[in-house]
């Protein structure tokens, strides 16, 4: 039988560190997990292979033996010398990799694996991000079977302890000079066996269901903000706790405002006469109020005006950010005869002091060419 190199199975280099190996295994295990590939023998075989590879490479001593002797290290005592060691303290492979998602720790008898977490993407407007909102969403989840209360056994009957693992959910196997613990193949690590499964859930303790949930979005959320709904994810197998539902928020582009943290940005074009003479500008805010900004005489394009407290609310805090308006001075493109005449008259009266930047630029040009 052909034995595939453990590093090739996990698609990593032989020099990969522990973090890289764990990340590679996590990705492949999620891809080939039997729960996601029901009935697919190839996926099941691949899942077992990558689990075996990770089980070896995650442990420094096992990995050292494998690097030196290859698969022979775990065959009939292996070619690794005469001494042996007992590694019976290994925790279940899922606990070490998926513990933060699936819950449960090794202790007592069998492990309790909480249900998987779910993700839901929701799009909201900037106004909704400002004020917050309540919404109803519909999600398809696996929920605890009501007929058997999630036990997986037919109503009136009960599961019993697995005779193969004595209810521990794990069995030991000799691999060369190693003793390795694995999930019991009879009870799949649950520690219990169901002789008379529930007809509604077929012994799984879970059924597919569509759930409608109310979601409260707090004011001040931003792109990528995550709202957690505890216990609204997938139900755990045979009465185990449910996972969580994570709602990821995506804020639609606004026609006027752009956002950076709690600061709102807007661009406002003004006429060159307003720029020269000064004036005021009214911006409708997301808070429902009109914010009037004073435009000083002689303002230039690119100048920013700031209105304190007219920005986004602070998420789960107090106060508001600012509204920043960038001024764009617009040059007139269509002039009446009268307007053109007035501008011509204005040009004839110019002394250069009206626009010091322009005057200074042309002075520098003359000086530069004169120096040649």
pLDDT tens readout for residues 318-341: 899 999 999 999 999 899 999 999
Write out the DSSP string of 245-313: EEEEEEEPPPSS-EEETTEEEEEEEEEHHHHHH-EEEEEE-TTS-EEEEEE-TT--TT-EEEETT-SPB
Over residues 264-292, the mean pLDDT reads: 94
Of the three residues 212, 231, 252, the one that is the final residue of a domain is: 252
Q: Which residue has the higher pLDDT, 214 or 156?
A: 214
Whether 42 is in a domain gets the answer yes
pLDDT at 164: 86
Q: Which residue has the higher pLDDT, 304 or 161?
A: 304
Measured CA distances, 310 to 121, 255, 345 (Å) = 28, 17, 42
Going by C-alpha positions, the residue among 265, 315, 314, 260 that lies closest to residue 285 is: 265
- Looking at the structure, tell me whether residues 41 and 142 fall in a common domain: no
- The structural domain count of the chain equals 3
Over residues 294-299, the mean pLDDT reads: 94
Measured CA distances, 8 to 26, 37, 325 (Å) = 15, 22, 56
pLDDT at 32: 83
CB 187 within 8 A of CB 162: yes
- Looking at the structure, tell me whether residues 34 and 135 fall in a common domain: no
pLDDT at 77: 43
Mean pLDDT of the chain: 82
Residue-wise pLDDT tens digits, 199-220: 888 888 888 889 999 999 999 9
- Looking at the structure, tell me whether residues 266 and 345 fall in a common domain: yes
Q: Which residue has the higher pLDDT, 252 or 90?
A: 252
- Residues 6 or more apart whose Cβ sits within 8 Å of residue 225: 248, 249, 315
Whether 182 is in a domain gets the answer no
Over residues 145-174, the mean pLDDT reads: 84
- Which tokens hold the place of 50? 């990558």
- Which tokens hold the place of 59? 């442990």
CB 77 within 8 A of CB 177: yes
Of the three residues 234, 252, 270, the one that is the final residue of a domain is: 252
Domain holding 237, by residue range, is: 114-158+197-252
Q: Which residue has the higher pLDDT, 201 or 189?
A: 201
Residue 371: pLDDT above 70? no
Q: Which residues are annotated as a binding site for Zn(2+)?
A: 145, 148, 162, 165, 184, 187, 198, 201
Over residues 22-33, the mean pLDDT reads: 87
- Residues 6 or more apart whose Cβ sits within 8 Å of residue 131: 219, 286
Q: Which residues are annotated as a binding site?
A: 145, 148, 162, 165, 184, 187, 198, 201
Length of the chain: 372
Of the three residues 226, 252, 278, the one that is the final residue of a domain is: 252
- Of the pLDDT bands very low, low, confident and very high (cuts 50, 70, 90), residue 300 is very high
Distance CA(241)–CA(231), nearest Å, equals: 7
- Looking at the structure, tell me whether residues 28 and 153 fall in a common domain: no
Chain Cα centroid distance, residue 105:
25
- Of the pLDDT bands very low, low, confident and very high (cuts 50, 70, 90), residue 259 is very high
Going by C-alpha positions, the residue among 103, 122, 128, 127 that lies closest to residue 113 is: 103
**How many CB atoms sit inside 10 A of residue 62's CB?**
22
Residue-wise pLDDT tens digits, 54-100: 988 988 888 888 887 777 666 544 433 333 333 333 333 344 444 43
């Amino acid at each position: 039988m052909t034995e595939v190199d453990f590093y090739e199975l996990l698609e990593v280099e032989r020099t990969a560190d522990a973090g890289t190996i764990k990340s590679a295994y996590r990705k492949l295990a999620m891809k080939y997990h039997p729960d996601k590939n029901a009935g697919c023998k190839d996926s099941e075989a691949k899942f077992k292979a990558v689990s075996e590879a990770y089980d070896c490479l995650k442990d420094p001593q096992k990995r050292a033996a494998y690097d030196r002797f290859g698969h022979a290290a775990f065959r009939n005592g292996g070619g690794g010398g005469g001494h042996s060691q007992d590694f019976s303290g290994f925790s279940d492979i899922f606990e070490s990799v998926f513990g933060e998602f699936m819950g449960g720790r090794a202790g007592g008898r069998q492990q309790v694996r909480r249900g998987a977490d779910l993700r839901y993407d929701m799009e909201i407007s900037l106004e909704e991000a400002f004020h917050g909102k309540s919404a109803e969403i519909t999600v398809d989840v696996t929920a605890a079977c009501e007929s058997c209360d999630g036990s997986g056994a037919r109503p009136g009957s009960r599961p019993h302890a697995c005779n193969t693992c004595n209810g521990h959910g794990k069995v030991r196997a000799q691999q060369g000079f190693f003793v390795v613990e694995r999930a019991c193949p009879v009870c799949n690590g649950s520690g219990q066996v169901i002789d008379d499964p529930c007809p509604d859930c077929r012994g799984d303790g879970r059924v597919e269901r569509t759930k409608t949930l109310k979601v409260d979005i707090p004011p001040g959320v931003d792109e990528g903000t995550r709202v957690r709904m505890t216990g609204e994810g997938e139900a755990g197998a045979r009465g185990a706790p449910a996972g969580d539902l994570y709602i990821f928020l995506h804020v639609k582009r606004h026609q006027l405002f752009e956002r950076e943290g709690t600061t709102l940005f807007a661009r406002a074009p003004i006429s060159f006469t307003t720029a020269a003479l000064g004036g005021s500008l009214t911006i409708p805010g997301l808070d429902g109020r009109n914010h009037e900004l004073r435009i000083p005489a002689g303002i230039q394009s690119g100048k920013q005006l700031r209105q304190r407290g007219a920005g986004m609310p602070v998420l789960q805090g107090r106060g508001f950010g600012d509204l920043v308006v960038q001024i764009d001075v617009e040059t007139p493109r269509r002039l009446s005869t009268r307007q053109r005449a007035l501008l011509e008259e204005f040009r004839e009266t110019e002394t250069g002091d009206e626009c010091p930047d322009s005057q200074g630029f042309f002075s520098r040009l003359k000086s530069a060419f004169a120096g040649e």
